[in-house]
Structure 1
Amino acid sequence: MKKLLAEFFGTFWLVFGGCGSAIFAAGIPNVGIGFAGVALAFGLTVLTMAYAVGHISGGHFNPAVSFGLWAGGRFPAKDLVTYILAQTIGAIVAGSALYFIASGNSDFFIDNTQAGAFASNGYGAFSPNGYSLETAFATEFLLTLFFLLIILGATDKFANGKFAGVAIGLGLTLIHLISIPITNTSVNPARSTSQALIAMGEPLTQLWMFWTAPILGAIAAGFIYKTLLQKKETA
């Protein structure tokens, strides 16, 4: 139960901090944090929670990460469903908290006919810059693949584990700097689910892609690291 609570709170913080920065702080004229600020916010959420609760649950905070660690031989298949449920519930609760806070502003409304509604992800007309389904899929697949390579490498028993959280947090920051203009950056199905469920409309119908591409990319990374990169034990 402690592991599941750690995943719940870690994913809550990721969504609340990352998506919250996009909803509340990114677009304020003259003083808004912009894309770079949102990218840094997502990285900081993972970095801080990796050190806060990573020692309890492993610090996944993302269904794709759980799948990738399973494929890499670092996580048992029997725990996949419960971890993913804890992550997704944490994300949805965070999204609901963001909605409640945003509703305190009389000017607040969600226009789900526009890209990025309530920090949701999208492709085609719902991509921030109109990127197609194919290019959005490739982006989410590749960036999640490299995110998992960073995680698997930084947490390898032969690596300097003291700095794993820094590498992973900065890796997620870089991922957002690349892909916010393309898909509004997912690489995390739970994060995508929380915002799509609140935005509804087209963001919800496109949600399938933000489960499929990250999970496939993560699984590919797990097998690549385990078979091609992982240092073998010597006798």
Structure 2
Amino acid sequence: MIGLGFSSKVMAEAMGTYFLVFAGCSAVVVNKIYGSVTFPGVCVVWGLIIMVMVYSVGHISGAHLNPAVTITFAIFRHFPYKQVPLYILGQMLGSILASGTLYLMFDVDEDAYFGTVPVGTKGQSLMMEFITSFMLMFVISGVATDNRSIGELAGIAIGMTILLNVFIAGPVSGGSMNPARSIGPALIMQKYTGLWIYVVGPLLGTIVGGFAYNLIRLTDKPLREITKSGSFLGNIAKK
């Protein structure tokens, strides 16, 4: 039996991912059809919608909104493995429904495809997805799993990371960093070119990014405890 509390978490993930994909991909579609958003505008929309959703549902489900993030949290024991399948199901459902909504709303043809396909070589796209996903998970680990960070700023930090990464990766790979973001549009429009890149790249990138942050983490103690006695640099030197 699934408890009501956990059901609300899965629903929050589904709704959060729906709005994430709807807003971000809407910007892509509108820009391709009407040309009024511009590429920088698309980047800003992705960053803003992530920030908004983190603050909207982060206190309910953690606002993963990304199967790669969910799996990485589980690997590093920040999230129970038994909840992973339903979280991913909620995220995928949200992405598919959002993609379906956009497909019905707009006359989306091949040129207005709002999914992600490699623009450069497949190798370039894979590396770009890996590196940007690494950066994303590194930031998420810092602001969401380290109790020394300022938690209230998590949404801003994650949103700005997404904005930056889409600026970098958008022209090369589409800047997905999220298997659900790529799989939903691909299923609705049945366009699977290079889809494996947007599963393998983000998953490997987030796992290595999570590992890297855990590797450099100095202590689990809050910053106020570290600085309580002696100098901060002195305490770091002893680690």
TM-score over 0.5 for the alignment? yes
Q: Which residue does 1:215 correspond to in 2?
A: 203
Q: Which residue does 1:181 correspond to in 2?
A: 171
Contact 2:126 2:201 in 1 (8 A): yes
Contact 1:26 1:38 in 2 (8 A): no
Separation in 2 of the partners of 1:25 and 1:205?
22
Separation in 2 of the partners of 1:212 and 1:177?
21
Return 5+ residue gaps in structure 1 as ranges: 103-107
Give 1:45's aligned amino acid.
I
Structure 1 residue 230: Cα displacement:
5.1
Q: Aligned to 2:29, which of 2, 15, 23?
A: 23
Q: Which residue does 2:161 correspond to in 1?
A: 171
Q: Which residue does 2:51 correspond to in 1?
A: 47
Return 5+ residue gaps in structure 2 as ranges: 1-6, 227-239
Contact 2:26 2:102 in 1 (8 A): yes
**RCO higher in structure (CA 8 A, sep ≥6):** 1
Q: Aligned to 1:118, which of 113, 117, 120?
A: 113
Taking the TM superposition and a 5 Å limit, the aligned residue runs for 1:57-136 are 57-102=61-106, 108-111=107-110, 117-123=112-118, 127=119, 131-136=120-125
Give the match's secondary structure for 1:182. Answer: coil
Identical aligned pairs, as a percentage? 34
Contact 1:71 1:222 in 2 (8 A): no
Contact 1:40 1:173 in 2 (8 A): yes
Structure 1 residue 109: Cα displacement:
4.1
Separation in 2 of the partners of 1:230 and 1:35?
39
Q: Which residue does 2:3 correspond to in 1?
A: none
Give the match's secondary structure for 2:170. Answer: helix
Structure 1 residue 205: Cα displacement:
4.1
Give the TM-score of the pair, scaled to structure 2: 0.85
Larger Rg: 2
Separation in 2 of the partners of 1:109 and 1:215?
29
Separation in 1 of the partners of 2:56 and 2:14?
13
1:144 aligns with 2:139: no
RMSD, aligned CA: 1.7
Structure 1 residue 227: Cα displacement:
2.5
Q: Which residue does 1:105 correspond to in 2?
A: none
